[in-house]
Chains A and B, each alone.
Chain A
């Protein structure tokens, strides 16, 4: 579920061997892309973010002290790059993400549309916890927030998603505004 690079692959890459680094990038690419897509909801943006993250891995993996630190380091990297991208995009007009747009248009709201309707703090913890299968402690470490805050946000997000996944699509925008002010 989560980024699943075997320790020996990370260790081989950490020694600075280019073949080892490229092997590692091949292994982590799908996870990096999926995570970026879950956060951004756009294919091109996800590809750019995943690629930028892999470029950083290529350059900086040798500076990692231990192979066991790789997982959290890489998650932080992708999340940070995706957040930077979101900030840049937020300065322009709001966009409907591809994931939300492509979602099931039936009365029942698709998970992507529900996710897109969540405010960003809730959105990120949901992606890391439910999509990536990370524990609340790991999520806290990646986002640099207290564990209790993660658990509170997950509880709030679950309540919001329950409402969104059972509501009609028309209620999405109004709900989002209310929630944005409440968080």
Chain B
């Protein structure tokens, strides 16, 4: 039995078709700005945003002072005077409105897995737009939400010195938080800074998104 089983298993192993090595995707994912971050915390993020949205609604007459995104120790902090949010069933109309009001050339996320559904749109003034997506695949279970922050590079920094001036709403964005030792997943595409939260996207999926967005930027030029 043992030798039969050995033969059977060896034979089965050699009959596995191996796809070509995706060296470009591996190389790209291994760059220092790529990480495999910690658990998604979308519930906390949603609750946080709900409370912020309430504050923002209460202070509807607030004057616009600008937005700032700060990346420190794996945390992403969004500092803004006004945040608008569409939490569920966001439509292309909501995205178009956010893109129209942006003060930077918005390249929308592309190359997400087939069956991905957009769920939410957040805008923090004209300088930052965050899109929430529900990814397909039952294997992802509760890790099916991904948030992609698109921002004007001018408002993104690694220093917290310029954030939280008086009168601003400062929000730590749990959905984009990462383990403290790791930098956020971010890249530049055209005049836009892209920041991706949580590890619901696999490295290969992330690489596809990045490549599709870069291709989209090239087509636009």
Residues of A within 8 A of B (CB): 1, 22, 25-26, 29-30, 33-34, 37-38, 43, 45, 47-48, 51-52, 54-55, 58-59, 85, 88-89, 91-93, 95, 111-112, 126, 130-133, 158, 161-162
Residue from B5, B19, B25 in contact with A161 in the complex, judged by beta carbons closer than 8 Å: B5
- Expressed in whole angstroms, the Cα–Cα distance for A32 and B192 within the complex equals 36
Q: Shortest beta-carbon distance, A18 to chain B, in Å?
A: 8
Residues of B near A33 (CB, < 8 A) are 16, 18-19
Given contacts A22-B27, A26-B21, A58-B30, contact A47 B140 (CB under 8 A): no
Q: Shortest beta-carbon distance, A53 to chain B, in Å?
A: 10
Residues of B near A95 (CB, < 8 A) are 138-139
The answer on a CB contact under 8 Å between B5 and A55 is no
- Expressed in whole angstroms, the Cα–Cα distance for A162 and B2 within the complex equals 10
- Expressed in whole angstroms, the Cα–Cα distance for A132 and B25 within the complex equals 26
- Expressed in whole angstroms, the Cα–Cα distance for A56 and B170 within the complex equals 35
- Expressed in whole angstroms, the Cα–Cα distance for A58 and B16 within the complex equals 24
Decide yes or no whether B194 CB sits under 8 A from chain A: no
Residue from A34, A51, A92, A93 in contact with B13 in the complex, judged by beta carbons closer than 8 Å: A34
Given contacts A33-B18, A34-B16, A111-B12, contact A162 B1 (CB under 8 A): yes
Main secondary structure of the interface of B (DSSP, over half): helix
The answer on a CB contact under 8 Å between A111 and B9 is yes
The answer on a CB contact under 8 Å between B18 and A29 is yes
Given contacts A52-B203, A55-B29, A131-B13, contact A25 B21 (CB under 8 A): yes
- Expressed in whole angstroms, the Cα–Cα distance for A88 and B36 within the complex equals 15
- Expressed in whole angstroms, the Cα–Cα distance for A176 and B138 within the complex equals 23
Interface residue count on the B side (C-beta < 8 Å): 31
Decide yes or no whether B162 CB sits under 8 A from chain A: no
Residues of A near B140 (CB, < 8 A) are 88, 92
> Which residues, 11 to 39 on B, are CB-close (under 8 Å) to A?
12-13, 16, 18-19, 21-23, 25-27, 29-30, 34, 36
Residues of B near A26 (CB, < 8 A) are 21, 23
Residues of A near B34 (CB, < 8 A) are 55
- Expressed in whole angstroms, the Cα–Cα distance for A37 and B16 within the complex equals 8
Q: Shortest beta-carbon distance, B209 to chain A, in Å?
A: 14
CB-CB contacts of B185-221 with A at 8 A, as 1s and 0s?
Answer: 0000000000000000011100000000000000000
The answer on a CB contact under 8 Å between A38 and B13 is yes
Residues of A near B172 (CB, < 8 A) are none
The answer on a CB contact under 8 Å between A51 and B204 is yes
Residues of A near B117 (CB, < 8 A) are none
Decide yes or no whether B58 CB sits under 8 A from chain A: no
The answer on a CB contact under 8 Å between A52 and B36 is yes
- Expressed in whole angstroms, the Cα–Cα distance for A131 and B25 within the complex equals 27
- Expressed in whole angstroms, the Cα–Cα distance for A45 and B137 within the complex equals 11
Residue from B8, B30, B138 in contact with A55 in the complex, judged by beta carbons closer than 8 Å: B30
The answer on a CB contact under 8 Å between A92 and B12 is no
The answer on a CB contact under 8 Å between B138 and A92 is yes
The answer on a CB contact under 8 Å between A54 and B26 is yes
Q: Could you name 15 residue pairs across A and B whose Cβ atoms are closer than 8 Å?
A: A33-B16, A33-B18, A45-B139, A47-B22, A55-B26, A58-B26, A58-B27, A88-B139, A88-B143, A92-B139, A93-B138, A111-B8, A112-B12, A130-B10, A131-B12
The answer on a CB contact under 8 Å between A55 and B21 is no
- Expressed in whole angstroms, the Cα–Cα distance for A161 and B2 within the complex equals 10
Q: Shortest beta-carbon distance, B183 to chain A, in Å?
A: 13
Residue from B2, B8, B26 in contact with A51 in the complex, judged by beta carbons closer than 8 Å: B26
Residues of A near B18 (CB, < 8 A) are 29-30, 33-34
- Expressed in whole angstroms, the Cα–Cα distance for A37 and B12 within the complex equals 11
- Expressed in whole angstroms, the Cα–Cα distance for A54 and B138 within the complex equals 25
In the complex formed, the residue of B with least CB distance to A40 is B139
